[in-house]
Amino acid sequence: MSATATPPKPVDPIALERALAEANLETLLMVHTHWTRDEAFLERFAPHIKPLYGPVPSDVPESLAAELRERLLKLFAGGIPAEPPPLPRALMQKMMSIGAGEPVEDEFIPLLLDQMAFEKPLPRRDRPGRVPPPADFHVVVIGAGLSGICAGVKLGEAGYGYTIFEKNENAGGTWWENVYPGVGVDTPSHFYSFSFAQNPDWNQYHPRGADMRAYFLGVVERFGLRDRIEFETRVLGCEWDEAKQRWRVEVKRRDEPSRVVEADAVLNAHGIVNRPSLPKIPGLDAFQGVVMHTTRWNPDVPLEGKRIAQLGTGASGAQLAVAIAPKAAKLTIFQRSRHWLLNNPSAGQPVSDGVKWALRNIPKYAEWYRFRAYWFAADGLFPNVLRDPAWPHQDRSVSAHNDAMRELTLAYYREKLADRPDLLEKVVPEIPIFSKRIVMDTGYLDTLKRPNVELETDPIERVTANAIVTRSGREIPVDVIALATGFEVAKMLGPLRVIGRGGRDLGAEWGDEEARAHLGIQVPGYPNFFMTGGPNSAPNHAAGQNIVSERQVHYMIECLDYARSRGKRTIEPTEAAYEAFNRQIDERMPRMIWSHPKATSYYRNSKGRIYLSWPYRLVDYFHVTERPNPDDVQLG
């Protein structure tokens, strides 16, 4: 060891041994190879590690697994150095392929290096030859949720002045607002986080709402964003001032008069899952009990011993039912449509102390574990949503791969509800699996079997002062109505007013459900106006909104840098690029499962057009948002 090298960190041998016993085996193999570069030992595992969703499970012999743990125990017994030396790309790719049990092609490497933080990029402000932004260049960010927080971090790193306006009293967006019982994330914890702020301290493999809230607030503090956020301040609209080449942004703080803030660029990061969709049921307004939507939940309302009616059986509904059923005297769940529930044994499971220790103390364990979470929770699921026109069973599935997932999940339903054929008949969907949002089963099927729970499929006719009346005339007395009925997603701007060049009105152009954009980020005629979570950018095949948000923020800054490097102030897509992109999306959609005749979901508008989903993989979105194509943009 050289005189300037960092001495190894002392290690607790008992804690190390416990961590190695509890940690994920494939990830430990990656750690061992990362430190030792022992390819011969790595290759001994190759025949035994299989793809997670393959027809046969991995079958690593216990003797080989024990040898791996013993090697790591000896490797780190004298202490753990801070960092191993960088790996050759070829070896890293070989490790990824063996660790995943299937080939990891060249196209994935840039994304994986970025998202797993295997390599720390040079901060943007320190890039040689980069033209720094003027001191008076200012960006307004609308919303301090996942995307807005990401934007604050990255704009600051790039040297841009910015202000984030947040309507709530604190940051976190939907994870600040949603406090309903059971609220959580169906994406793996160690993946649903920023690549630049990975968290080794998740309490569960799929985070609960409180954990997400704490994580985002922690990022705000860590990166010093709080002083750049104006809380309890709503953005009412923004209008392009052609003479000044700036945006006039109207904001309103609580009960104060509205005021105008000027900005050189605007990022709309207000999200699309914060405007509740309220059912239009006759009599609901006259109900004398308590009515609460999941996104407007009042935790002070007592539920113990109450007769509760739950409307909605999607992701929020499945979580809510599991949490409130033990408290209720009677829980009646009104099911309008059926959802496929996936069996994920890790969903709802706590992260053991040994695994947390490994994530915190063994360098590169966290990065390699994140790789595994990405590979199997994101693009590894993409084959499920791609239609095979030659597949003969289009009525139930769209490909052999999709059919195999259907059969696997159907077997899970039959096992869980073997003693309740009445429930099995009610809950098994007729739609292809993955044709609408998948729900993780964290106890919902078991909850349906509780003696105090009833699944009602008779449609609701009306609500009286203290009951719900179904179409067949059955009257069900209730004290509380819980609405797990989702969000108004199609009107993607919500009430935000956006007036572009020449008085163009984006809200009028989009109407209630016809949102379109270039890359889901920009629209011609609205210079320096950017979006996160825009039309046709949602990764509806799997997890990955965190990656999409990071890439959309990255693309915005690349656009601003590109314009400035050419001595220009503004950037927007050309009409030709906008039209070509949307034509490509429309031509692609018939190949996707979301276009299946039985697939009705919030991904589609009332005319059947799929306005929300990105019909390719996350790795494809990563590459198309690397930088603006000079042929696709116009500068001003």
Question: Shortest CA distance to 454 belongs to which of 309, 314, 239?
Answer: 309
Rounded CA separation 549/271 (Å)? 10
Percent helix, strand, coil in the chain, to 5, is 35, 15, 45
Domain ranges of the chain: 13-121+354-379, 137-275+489-582+612-626, 284-347+393-483
- Looking at residue 5, its pLDDT comes to 55
Residue 4 confidence (pLDDT): 44
Closest CA to 449 of 409, 405, 415, 408: 415
| SS3 state of residue 376 | helix
Contact (Cβ atoms closer than 8 angstroms) between residue 447 and residue 325:
yes
| pLDDT, mean of each 10-residue run, the chain (636 residues) | 61 94 97 96 98 89 98 92 87 97 96 89 88 95 98 97 98 95 92 95 93 97 98 98 98 96 98 86 96 95 98 95 98 96 85 96 95 92 95 97 94 97 96 93 96 97 97 97 92 96 97 97 98 96 93 98 96 98 98 95 94 97 98 98
CB 526, CB 517: distance < 8 Å: no
Give DSSP secondary structure letters for 39-56.
HHHHHHHTTT---TTSSS
Say yes or no: do domains 137-275+489-582+612-626 and 284-347+393-483 share a fold: yes
CA 345 – CA 352 distance, rounded (Å): 14
Q: Note whether 321 and 181 are within 8 A (CB).
A: no
**Do the Cβ atoms of 271 and 286 come closer than 8 Å?**
no
CB 546 within 8 A of CB 191: yes
For residue 123, the model assigns a pLDDT of 86
Phi and psi dihedrals of 377, rounded to 5?
-110, -5
- So what's the pLDDT on residue 273? 76
Amino acid at position 184, single letter: G
Q: How far apart are CA 68 and CA 285, in angstroms?
A: 63
Question: What's the burial of 150, exposed, middle or buried (CB within 10 Å: 0-12/13-18/19+)?
Answer: buried
Tokens, residue 228: 């750049």
Q: By the 8 A CB rule, do 109 and 115 touch? A: no
Contact by Cβ (8 Å): 504, 572: no
* Closest to 327 in 3D by CA, of 446, 210, 450, 441: 450
- Token readout for 43 is 């290759």
Indicate the burial class of 149 (C-beta count within 10 angstroms; 0-12, 13-18, 19 or more).
Answer: buried
At residue 624, the pLDDT reads 98
Q: 307 near 480, Cβ under 8 Å?
A: yes
The residues pairing with 9 across neighbouring beta strands, listed in sequence order, are: 80
Q: Which CATH superfamily is domain 137-275+489-582+612-626 in?
A: FAD/NAD(P)-binding domain (3.50.50.60)
3-state secondary structure of 385: helix
Residue whose tokens read 């719900």: 468
Sign of the Cα torsion 155, 237, 233, 299 reads: negative
Asked whether the beta carbons of 467 and 478 are under 8 A apart, the reply is yes
- Distance in angstroms (rounded) separating the CA atoms of residues 528 and 598: 40
**Rounded (5°) CA angle 380-146-276:** 95
Taking domain 284-347+393-483, whether its CATH number is 3.90.25.10 is answered by no
Q: Which residues pair with 498 in a beta bridge?
A: 238
d(CA 156, CA 116): 21
